[in-house]
Amino acid sequence: MFARTTAIQAEPASIDAGVGNVRDVVMPALEELDGYVGLSMLADRSTGRCIVTSAWESADALRTSADKVHELRDRAAQIFGGGRPDVDQWEIAVLHRERASADGACARVTWVQVDPAQMDAGIEMFKTTALPALEELDGLCSVSLMVDRRSGRGVSSAVYESAEAMERNRAQIERIKDSATQASGVQVLDEHDFEVMIAHLRVPELI
């Protein structure tokens, strides 16, 4: 499974219009494409930072969707009132769901860097160390890890049923992150908390 992420720095006042465009225009258009397996959207209303992720069943499906997605992305960026989007492509290495997310769900997203030669070891460490620890947290909905094997970059996302649940677990989340990154030699590049605006990924369990 593969994914394309589009990061947009939107005008906060335009986020609702942008969400409407993604839900009512982008998603129906992507449903027509071979290999499409769903979409999610995260947003921080206070800063305007947004991430739209589309999932694809193969590298070929990801590649052949590029032209159509580019067209949709340009229009969406105008509606969001942001600048040029940042686009990345990933392999989905881990996807685990404890429960479906609902309105009010929030996500902690962490971007990391590892020596590309250590990518497989890093993925295994995430599966055997970070994931079981996260599963113990009250209010957890899902966990994912996406990687770019060539660059050594990765991005993990843990979704919680509410902002309160995420805050309640914050100290333990930090301990899990510190333990996993130290054990695997991973460098944390960035972290951010988001509201889950759209949760429509149909990616199967990958652990």
Q: Say how far apart CA 121 and CA 96 lie, in whole Å.
A: 19
Is the pTM value of this prediction over 0.85?
yes
Does 183 score more than 80 pLDDT? no
Residues linked to residue 107 through DSSP beta bridges, in sequence order:
159, 194
Residue 132 has a CB neighbour count (10 Å cut-off) of 10
CA distance 104 to 195: 7
Using the predicted structure, report yes or no on whether residue 152 has a pLDDT greater than 80.
yes
Q: What does the mean pLDDT of the chain come to?
A: 94
Mean pLDDT of 93-122: 94
Task: Give me the domains of the chain, ranges plus CATH numbers.
Answer: 2-201 (3.30.70.100)
138 residue type, one letter: D
